[in-house]
Amino acid sequence: MTVITKNQYLSHVLLEIYDSANWLFNDARWLGNEKTFLPLLEDNEFLFVCDGSRAVGFLSYHKKCRGHVVITGLYVVKDFQNKGAASVLMAELKQASVGLALVAKVMKTAEWARNFYQKHGFSVVDKNSPIHSDLSGFIKHNEWSEIYQKVMK
């Protein structure tokens, strides 16, 4: 038997969800291992969607940038994708973010992600918009990504 910390356990759970969610990318494990998630646990808040006692998805975010909630991750295990789990997470975040702007970086090739954010009222932010410089410390814009935003009223 092994004793682990709360953050080690959460990191393990996040990695399991992340690996299952990324089946379209042949489980590339872009983030590495459980240790890779530890900094994410320190800098972000998390919402989990559960099926019974099992977490089947998570949404990570932070509110460190004035007036913005930056979504840093939204993943749902393969068996629960396209069944409303991500929408439940997004609805919870929207409810807690009235008066703020929600922002997410999305891969241009991830059509399902772009469709999801558009379905939830997000729109692409022009790369010449001031939001890119305002959030440059939190969101690294790349050629392969787009920034989406929704202002919560």
Here the CATH number for the domain that contains residue 60 is 3.40.630.30
Shortest CA distance to 37 belongs to which of 46, 48, 27, 28?
Answer: 46
Q: What is the pLDDT of residue 31?
A: 55
**Percentage of the chain exceeding pLDDT 70:** 89
Judged by phi (left if over 0) then psi (alpha if -120 to 50, else beta), residue 117 lies in alpha
Whether residue 22 is contained in a domain is answered as no
Whether residue 1 is contained in a domain is answered as no
Whether residue 121 is contained in a domain is answered as yes
Residue 83, CA distances (Å) to 64, 86, 126 in order: 31, 8, 31
Whether residue 47 is contained in a domain is answered as yes
CB 32 within 8 A of CB 18: no
pTM, whole model, 2 decimals? 0.84
Number of domains in the chain: 1
Whether residue 110 is contained in a domain is answered as yes
Whether residue 113 is contained in a domain is answered as yes
Whether residue 60 is contained in a domain is answered as yes
Q: Which domain holds residue 110?
A: 43-151
CB 12 within 8 A of CB 41: no
Whether residue 36 is contained in a domain is answered as no
Q: For 43-93, how does the pLDDT look when each residue is reduced to its tens digit (9 = 90+)? A: 889 999 999 989 999 999 988 777 889 998 899 998 999 999 999 999 999
Shortest CA distance to 95 belongs to which of 152, 150, 48?
Answer: 152
